[in-house]
Amino acid sequence: MNFDEFNLPEWKLLSQVSRPSRYCCSEWRPHKKISWNDSSLRVCLAFPDVYEIGMSYYGFQIMEQFIHSMNPKYIADRAYCVWPDMEELMRKDNILLASTEHKRPVKDFDILAFTLPHEAGNTNILTMLNLAGINIFSRERNDFPLVIAGGYGAFIPEVMSEFIDVFCVGEAEALLPELLPLIESMKGCSRDEVLSEIAKLKGFYVPLLYAHGHVVERQIADKLFTLHSMIVPSVGIVHDRAAVELFRGCGRGCRFCQAGMVNRPVRERDVNESVQSVLDIVKSTGWEEAGLLSLASCDYSGIERLIDEVSDELNQRRAKLSLPSLRMDGFSVGLAEKLEDLRSKHGGITFAPEAGTQRLRDVINKGINEEMIDSCLKEIFSRGWERVKLYFMMGLPTETQEDLEAISEIAYHTLKLGRSLGHKRTTVSVSVSGFVPKAHTPFQWERQNSIQELKEKGRFIKSLIHDRNISVAYHEPEQTFLEGVLSRGDKRTCKVIYRAWETGARFDNWTEFFDLSRWLDAFEYHGINPDEYTRERNEDESLSWDFVNVGLTKEFLLRERHRAYECKLTVDCKNGCASCGIGCVK
C-alpha cells in the first residue's frame, strides 16, 4: 500500500504509539474498492474497540459484504476505536477519526453504524463520536451522518438512547434492505424528515420520536447471508482465522443466556452451503484454520457430514477446523478429536458445566447431569487430552455454599480421573465469572450479587484448592458489577455514562484501564444509586426494555423463572415446543 496517496496526518503519529499496525490497516479484500465519488450511499461500520478485536467480529464481515451485495454503488467501510495514546495525539493535532478502507473522515459518511457487543464498550462509542467531530448527544445534531446502532445493546436501548439516532432491533439481513434504500432515496431531505420516515418502519427505535406505548418488534431474517470470502488483515488479530456460521439461534433454553433467548428461532444453513462456504473461504483467503460458529456448534444437524466432506481438501491445504463451543458429552469429544491432531491435544479442551451441583444445573436448565460429565471426562482422557478447562458461574439464583464447594469437587474429580487413566501430567483450569441477570431472559428479575459477595465467593472457591495442578481464576467483581448496572439500565444511565467518559473512562473491558471509582463518582454526581439496577425486580413492575419485543412472551419468561425455582428442566426446542412465543412451529 502506498500510504502517501492518502496523505493522512495520523500516519506521522505511528512512531509515537503502541501497536501502530492497528492504524495501518493494510488488508486483502474480496471485493473491488468502490470509488467514493461514484457511490450512492456511504455506510461506516463502527466497532467500539481496537482493530484486532473488531476485525475478529464476524458480524462486520457479513454486513460489509451484504451491503455491497444490495447495491454495487453502496460503500460499506469500517472504523475502530483508537488506543488512549493515539487518542491523546489526535486531540493534540486536531486529527479526525477516519475509516479503514477509504481513509475518509467518519463524519463524511451518510450513516455511522455502531455495533453494541457489550456494555463495557459504551464509553468508547462516545470517544469515537467525539474524535469524529460529531456531537455526542443526538438532540444536538442537525446534519448527517445518522448515528445508528445494532447488536445486543439494541435490545436494551434506553441505556444509550441519548447518543444514538436510530436503534436497529433485529438482524441486519432483515433490517438493512428497508433502511438503506430509504435513506438513499431521501438524500437532500433534512435529518428530521429522514428520522421521521425511519420511525415508521418495523424494527427501528428512534428515541427522539418515540411515542409512549409503542412496541418495537425485533425483525428476523428468513434467509441468512452466506460468506464465500473474508477480509484478511495483514496483522495478527484475536481470532485470526476464517469463520463460517452454521446456524443462528439456540433451542437449549439456558435461563441465564441472553444470546440463546433473543436469537430464536433456530435457523440452520443447508449442509451443502456450509461445506462450500468453508472451502471457498479457506481457498480464497489462505487462512489455515476455519472456525465453525454458532451458540452450540455441536447441535448442527449436519456437523458430521460437513466435517467429512471438507476434511480431504483442508488436509491438502494443511488447514484445520475448530469448534469454539462443545457440549459435555461423548459426541462433542468425538467431534473434537476429528478436528484436532495429537499434538494440538496438548493445547487442552474446554467445557462449561456452569454450576457445581446437579440441582443448580437444573435451575439454569443446563441440560447435563453427573453421568454425562463423568462420561465426557473419561472420553477426554481416553482420547489423549491432558489439559482441561472448566467454566463456572457464581452468584446464580438459589445458589448455596454447597454449590460453590461442588466446583472444587468437580475440579478434583477431573484431576483424579485423568491420573487414574494414565495421564500423570493432567492439569485442570477453573474459570469462574459472576452471574449477571440479563434483559429478555427468565432471570431478568433476579438480584445480582454485590461486589463484596462475589469477592468472598471467589476467594472461598480458591481456598478449597490445594493442588498445584489445579488453577482457579475468577472475573473481577467490579467489572461484573458495572456490567450488571448497564445491562439493566434506563435513560438515567445515559448521563452517568457521559459523566464517566468525561472524567476519563475508556476501554472498561480492559483491566489496565478500568476504574470503578470513576463510575461510582459519576453515579454520585447525578444522585443515582447504582444498586437500584442490580436489585431484584418485582414481576409486575415496568422494566425499561419492556417496549422492545424480541418475540418471547412475558408469560414464557415468568414460567421459566418459576420452573427454575422448582428445579424443573424445559425441553430443547428440537425435541419439542416450549411455547416461548416465537411461533416457529408450523
Mean pLDDT value across residues 458-465? 97
Task: Show the cell assigned to 47.
Answer: 466497532
Q: How confident is the model at residue 3 (pLDDT cuts 50, 70, 90)?
A: very low
User: Distance between CA atoms of 34 and 322, rounded to whole angstroms?
Assistant: 34
pLDDT at 346 over 80: no
Mean pLDDT value across residues 366-374? 92
∠190-115-530 over CA atoms, to 5°? 100
Of all helices (H) and strands (E), which one includes residue 194?
helix 191-198
**pLDDT tens column, 300-310:** 999 999 999 99
Helix (H, G, I), strand (E, B) or coil at 425: coil
CA 264 to chain CA mean position, Å: 16
Q: What is the pLDDT of residue 510?
A: 94
Burial 420-455 (b: 16+ CB within 10 A, else e): eeebeebbbbbbbbbbbbbbbbbbbbbebbbbeebb
pLDDT at 379 over 60: yes
Q: Where are the domains of the chain?
A: 3-217, 241-325+552-586
Asked if residues 295 and 282 have their Cβ atoms less than 8 Å apart, the reply is: no
Q: Are strands 349-354 and 387-394 parallel, antiparallel or unpaired?
A: parallel
pLDDT at 342 over 60: no
pLDDT at 50 over 50: yes
Q: What is the pLDDT of residue 431?
A: 97
Q: What percent of the chain has a predicted confidence (pLDDT) above 90?
A: 79
Q: What is the pLDDT of residue 402?
A: 98
Mean pLDDT value across residues 119-137? 97
Q: What is the pLDDT of residue 343?
A: 40
CATH node for 3-217:
3.40.50.280
Mean pLDDT value across residues 250-276? 94
**pLDDT tens column, 540-566:** 999 999 999 999 999 999 999 999 999
Q: Lowest-confidence range among 6-15, 61-70, 304-313?
A: 6-15
Residue 170 half-sphere exposure, CB side, CA atoms within 13 Å? 25
Task: Show the cell assigned to 34.
Answer: 468502490
**Residue 38: burial class (beta carbons within 10 Å; 0-12, 13-18, 19+):** exposed
Please write down the HEC assignment for all residues of 317-337.
Answer: CCCEEECCCCCCCHHHHHHHH
User: Distance between CA atoms of 264 and 250, rounded to whole angstroms?
Assistant: 6
CATH node for 241-325+552-586:
3.30.750.210
Average pLDDT of every residue of the chain: 92
pLDDT at 166 over 90: yes
User: Distance between CA atoms of 25 and 99, rounded to whole angstroms?
Assistant: 10
pLDDT at 361 over 90: yes
Residues pairing with 349 in the sheet = 388
User: Distance between CA atoms of 528 and 493, rounded to whole angstroms?
Assistant: 9
**pLDDT tens column, 481-505:** 999 999 999 999 999 999 999 999 9
**pLDDT tens column, 408-419:** 999 999 999 999
Q: What is the pLDDT of residue 6?
A: 45
Mean pLDDT value across residues 577-585? 83
User: Distance between CA atoms of 47 and 147, rounded to whole angstroms?
Assistant: 13
Q: What is the pLDDT of residue 321?
A: 87
pLDDT at 22 over 90: no
User: Distance between CA atoms of 483 and 478, rounded to whole angstroms?
Assistant: 9
pLDDT at 5 over 80: no
User: Distance between CA atoms of 237 and 240, rounded to whole angstroms?
Assistant: 5
